[in-house]
A and B are shown apart, each in its own frame.
Chain A
Amino acid sequence: MLEFRVDQVIAGYGAEPVLRDLSLQIPAGRVTAIVGANGCGKSTLLRCLARLHQADSGCIQLGEDDLRLFSTADLARSVGFLPQFPQAPVGLRVNDLLALARHPHRHWMASWSAEDEAARCEALRLTDLTELAGQPLDKLSGGQRQRAWIAMMLTQSTPVLLLDEPGSMLDPGHQLELIALLRALADAGRTVIVVMHDLVAARHADWLVALDNGRLAACGSPVDVLNPVLLRQLYGIDSYILTAPDGTPVVVPVRQADLPLPQALPLPVSMASVGSSAEASASVAGRRLVLLFAVLQFTLLLDYMVLMPLGAALMRDFDIGPARFGSLVGVYTLASALTSLVGGRWIDRGDRKRTLLALYAGFVVATLACGFAGQFGELLVARALAGACAGLMNATMMAMIADRIEPERRGQAIGTIMSAFGVCAVIGVPSGLGLAALGGWRIPFLAVAALSALWWLRLYRALPRSPVRVGAGRGSLRSPALALGWVLSFCIVFAGFLIVPYLGAHLNGTLGVDLRDLSWIYLCAGLATFAVARGIGRAVDRFGAAGVLAVLMVASIIPHLWLTQLQPGPLWQTTLVFVLFMALTSTRSIPALVWLIGRVPPPLRGRYMAVNTASTEAASGLAAWYAGLMTGGDGAVLQHFERVGWLAAGVTCVSLCLLAGLHRFGASKGASTTTTDCLTPVARAES
């Protein structure tokens, strides 16, 4: 039987001792509870008893001997210690944990003996864990885990058990079980010492050690020791001490009457309503999504746009003519259109996040391959792959925006994403060209690939999962109203791309603008697009997509005609018309996209937008080709460019009529359109 005798112990961690001249006795074969307020030295005393902490002076005796005279192994065979927050690696099984505790009993070469196994079985039986022995510790409940730790201590087979607040994580039922177990262990001859916060549990102890600020406040059996004066000294509380039917004292703590009541301020008004805060968080999540996509779009556009100015270097390196260089652009567009048509079939299955990430990974690989391409053929294949991925990504992105952002914010969202176009023109392409000037045409591609790879990682972490909802809204894309939507976006893009590809030639050749000034003009246009795009987005949210689209189309007719009929004049005038043209033409896609996607039921969105991408790609290709035929296309001076302007204006008028018709058609069956668009609760629920 081992009892502890603590004699004039002073111990602490710094200059100020935690235990000040403490002397006490702890009886053998009993349950002893150490109680006291936070920071009074309970745990330090327990650690001193386990020799985990060296006392500065004084002496602790275990049985007949000074604690310091025990060898490390002897002590480990005599005293078991359970820290307040024990830790174990993930996946460790109960059995293996218990096996670790046999360390002090085993020679370094000894194999697992019958004695070891008996100790483990006994510990499992006592803690009622036999059935859970094969389970990993982290799969157990809090109570079971605590029992496993106690089982580990029991496996160590020590006559003295020290526990630091073993019950603090347990519910009342498990606490009582724990106390009964400790009781049984003490009855079987072990000395059990427990640090406790809970005075209700402390009454079950045989012996109570109360510490107050490092000094002994009381020591004895609970019945003798527990009284209101002591509790006031220890915790600064008033209390009633009752006697339970079993004869043990029960402490009922009461708040001290003379302490002032704490005052809490009411919540600020803005936080008081739960609904508005949920709305705010949804809009924050939406804004983050839009930013993620804007950068994604930036990388896609950069890859697309940086190719053209690199033409001269590529033609020189691969020894090819302008036509074959042109095929690099063409194959990108073609691949984009084709995969959009073909791949749309699969785009509305599974998780959109996974789809997007897979496509983006393909894009990164393709861009990397562009950077490393050794022959023209390789470059061509890489461009095709990049185009294939980029086309489907656009559709997926739009579908995700529509799935997750409420209709009244979509304009702003798409406006922000489209403003990537301006950023790309202003910052991206010039810095890409700067890089190319430093180290050759491969560098921009590698830089884009690196940027995209980084952004892939960011998306991988930050993008919310968005499973495609399959259900009641499932329908067919064959409805004429939906199909006419594709015709509309075809027309809009067709009108723009009749003019856009030939602007450089027009400005430089017909209007005599210097090449150096030309890059400045493009820069201005980029800036203007960036600024206008976000404004248009806001306007769409405010006044409705169809209205803004109509206004923009009407407005863009003016610069269409003006620019194509412009005669050589002062540079500011040319710049003004050009900037007006770019700002109005390129931002038409914002209300168009918002309007189109609002009409499509959610499960079809990916497919619909994929076909839409295909139709716009086809429009841009056809328009460029047809305008080339009209202008005679020998490159230097454009013939009859004003005719192209008239054609563009005509196409715009046609699309205006189409929009009016579709809008009226949509309004006549408006009820059904609004019911299919029931994404708002979904967006909330998913986010």
Chain B
Amino acid sequence: MTKAVRRLAPIPLLLMLAYAALVAGTPRLSASQVYAGLFGPGADWLSTLVTQFRLPRLCAALVVGIGLGAAGALLQNLTRNRLASPDVLGINDGALLALALSLMLNPTGLLGPWWCAVAGALITAVFTLLAAGGVGTRGYRVLVVGLGIASLLRAGFDIALATLPIFHATGLYAFSVGSLAGRAWPVVTVAAALLGILLTACWVISRALALLCLHDDSIRGLGVNLGQLRFTVLMLAAALAGVTVGVGGPIGFVALAAPMLAQRLSPDGGIPVWCSASIGAVLVTGADLLGRIAAAPVEVPVGVVSGFLGGPFLLWLLVRPKACGAG
């Protein structure tokens, strides 16, 4: 019972942050104004501000956060390594590169179709898996190969950025920092639907996922096709990360931190995917909110905020004395 309560702990925090995200900013709204903006009757500007700007942005933050949290948890369960995350595996860079390439081929929109990011992420994941020749017993191999591929793809992205016309390059660069500014309903709704499908798939494999913490022979002995399971998990994580890159650009550290925090909340066994997803949503919503209000009227991109907060977190994690570490 307490376990369930602890895993649900991020939810009230998330609700508070969501409310704050609707209220805060310029102009600052009251609760009744938000209500009027959402459900009417209210002034036109109020309704536009709430339903066309703040609400889609909040939803984008939620989609990105849930996606990153879930992807991080999947990858850390898969590799049994606390440092695994989409950025380390090169999935984020692959998604970015795909966006840049789509712009080079078809220079009409400002950023190119966002689903290219999903495709890029999936292709990168398959490529990494092929190059590493499997996930490997302890996941080290795929991590090391992923690191190499990540820097390769990043270099490719930089080259693409240099060859693009300047207005595309500027937009893409701002995007590559990780930003939720100006995300509108068309992108958010499709991304949310895709996220729903992916999360359903996560739910279907969730029981097999819990087995991934055991010895390889134990897992196989329990009648699981290990190779197939690992491939599925990796693809799911890549697709989730791709969706988040498509919506908000590569936002670092959330996918790394959320699973670890989730494990601290329920320190009995593997990394809980749902808890991690909700913590990811809290982190991204909070970071976006902070970026919006901290240096107003200038907006700090959410990727910068998460990096700023995530760096010290990573350091703390690395230098923390071993005694209280969780394996």
- Would you call A85 and B215 a contact (CB within 8 A)? yes
Contact among B211, B218, B267 for A90, CB-based, below 8 A:
B267
A residues 39-75 in Cβ contact with B at 8 Å: 47, 50, 52, 72-75
The reply to whether the CB of B225 lies closer than 8 angstroms to some CB of chain A is yes
Taking CB as reference atom, which chain B residue is nearest A95?
Answer: B268
Q: How large is the interface on B (under 10, 10 to 19, 20 to 34, 35 or more residues)?
A: 20 to 34
Chain B residues with CB below 8 A from A93, complex form: 268-269
What are the interface flags for A92-111 relative to B under an 8 Å C-beta threshold, 1 for contact and 0 otherwise? 11001000110110101000
Chain B residues with CB below 8 A from A74, complex form: 223
Asked if A52 meets B224 with Cβ closer than 8 Å, knowing A89-B270, A461-B319, the reply is no
Interface centre among A87, A89, A101, A156 (most CB of B within 10 A): A89
The reply to whether the CB of B130 lies closer than 8 angstroms to some CB of chain A is no
The reply to whether the CB of A77 lies closer than 8 angstroms to some CB of chain B is yes
Chain A residues with CB below 8 A from B225, complex form: 72
The smallest beta-carbon distance between A160 and chain B, in angstroms, is 11
The reply to whether the CB of A136 lies closer than 8 angstroms to some CB of chain B is yes
Chain B residues with CB below 8 A from A52, complex form: 217, 220-221
- Would you call B268 and A92 a contact (CB within 8 A)? yes
The reply to whether the CB of B315 lies closer than 8 angstroms to some CB of chain A is yes
Tell me the complex Cα distance, A461–B224, Å: 42
Q: How many residues of chain A get a CB closer than 8 Å to chain B's CBs?
A: 35
- Would you call B217 and A100 a contact (CB within 8 A)? no
Chain A residues with CB below 8 A from B215, complex form: 83, 85-87
Tell me the complex Cα distance, A47–B218, Å: 11
- Would you call A47 and B269 a contact (CB within 8 A)? no
What are the interface flags for B253-277 relative to A under an 8 Å C-beta threshold, 1 for contact and 0 otherwise? 0000000000000011110000000
- Overall SS of chain B's interface: loop
The reply to whether the CB of A439 lies closer than 8 angstroms to some CB of chain B is no
The reply to whether the CB of A260 lies closer than 8 angstroms to some CB of chain B is no
The reply to whether the CB of B208 lies closer than 8 angstroms to some CB of chain A is yes
The reply to whether the CB of A320 lies closer than 8 angstroms to some CB of chain B is no
Asked if A108 meets B218 with Cβ closer than 8 Å, knowing A93-B268, A136-B268, the reply is no
The smallest beta-carbon distance between A419 and chain B, in angstroms, is 28
- Would you call A91 and B207 a contact (CB within 8 A)? no
- Would you call B321 and A89 a contact (CB within 8 A)? no
Contact among A88, A96, A103, A136 for B207, CB-based, below 8 A:
A103
- Would you call B223 and A77 a contact (CB within 8 A)? yes
Contact among A96, A103, A461 for B208, CB-based, below 8 A:
A103
Chain B residues with CB below 8 A from A92, complex form: 213, 268-270
- Would you call A101 and B213 a contact (CB within 8 A)? no
Tell me the complex Cα distance, A75–B225, Å: 12
- Would you call B217 and A81 a contact (CB within 8 A)? yes
Taking CB as reference atom, which chain B residue is nearest A152?
Answer: B218
What are the interface flags for B289-324 relative to A under an 8 Å C-beta threshold, 1 for contact and 0 otherwise? 000000000000000000000000001000101000
What are the interface flags for B219-244 relative to A under an 8 Å C-beta threshold, 1 for contact and 0 otherwise? 01111110000000000000000000
The smallest beta-carbon distance between A96 and chain B, in angstroms, is 6
- Would you call A104 and B267 a contact (CB within 8 A)? no
- Would you call B224 and A72 a contact (CB within 8 A)? yes
The reply to whether the CB of A457 lies closer than 8 angstroms to some CB of chain B is yes
Closest 3 CB pairs of A and B: A76-B223, A81-B221, A104-B223
The interface of chain B, by Cβ under 8 A from chain A, is 204, 207-208, 210-211, 213-215, 217-218, 220-225, 267-270, 315, 319, 321, 326-327
Show 11 residue pairs from A and B whose CB-CB distance is below 8 angstroms, ordered by the A residue.
A76-B224, A82-B218, A91-B268, A92-B213, A92-B270, A93-B269, A100-B214, A103-B207, A103-B222, A108-B204, A457-B315
